[in-house]
Amino acid sequence: MQRVDLHLHTTASDGELAPADLVWRARAIGLEAIAITDHDTTAGILEAQATASHLLLVIPGIELSAESDKLDVHILGYFLNWQSDDFQAQLTRFRDDRLKRGQRIVEKLAALGLPVSWERVLAQADGGAVGRPHIARAMVEAGLVASVSEAFDRYLYTGGPAYVSRERLTPEAAVALIHRAGGAAVLAHPAVLPDYAAMVERLVTAGLDGVEVVHPLNSEIVRDNLRGLAARFGLVMTGGSDFHGSESEPLGSVTPPSGCVPALRERAARYRQG
């Protein structure tokens, strides 16, 4: 069975490894295919693919942030025509909004007596799309918290003292955007949703292609339920470590269902016809 990991983040968003370093790490542990799924950006794909060459398959992907009833809903896209002008224009809007949101979070932290340098936040992002993890790392660097998890648990969680909302797609709009870019759309880490079954059913009507069955946050009970939903609705079953770096699950620590890569490729091909 092919060893794959379909949910990985690089320094293009909030991961700790540069795309090239991630590819070499993946190769070193014997992975044969990976997907680069950075948040709202495809900036890491070209470097990863150039590094991989014949070593392993790098699937062009993304993780889009959507919102429904004040709940975060993340949609993964695979085998994208990621260089599409329309797609990139949409991503630029999202990244600009992330930047403004990050500045507002820093302002709220200052008002709470927790001054964080915006320059250090940008340094943490290192040219990538700014996100809350970069602010959290800057807080650790400034000695304001002991860890990234503490920064989130006390200040940056959704609805927390320093939280700032931002422009979000609906989950249906995220699925549609991925389809327009010629990609297959998959519901990410369903266990974070209070009623993931209802969300799956809802998105099936919008053309959802798959569901992330194997993820570190999905218990065995959740995985069994998701397998049933995938069989019921004809969805591709995927999986990934959601690797970000030292404080996340290890790269390649999960085993997605066999055959998921060709199944995703086939689903994506449907949106490129004509």
Say if residue 273's pLDDT is above 70.
no
- With respect to CATH, is domain 4-84+181-270 assigned 3.20.20.140? yes
Cα of first residue to Cα of last residue in the chain, in angstroms, is 33
The pLDDT score that the predictor gives to residue 246 is 86
pLDDT tens per residue, range 45-73? 999 999 998 889 999 999 999 988 878 89
In this prediction, residues 138-155 reach a mean pLDDT of: 96
CA–CA distances in Å: residue 233 to residues 43, 144, 207, 225, 256: 33, 47, 10, 12, 19
Q: What is the pLDDT of residue 127?
A: 78
- Short-list 206, 261, 204, CA closest to 235: 204
Residue 49 backbone dihedrals phi, psi, to 5 degrees:
-65, -40
Domain locations in the chain as residue ranges = 4-84+181-270
Measured CA to CA, the distance from residue 21 to residue 18 in angstroms comes to 5
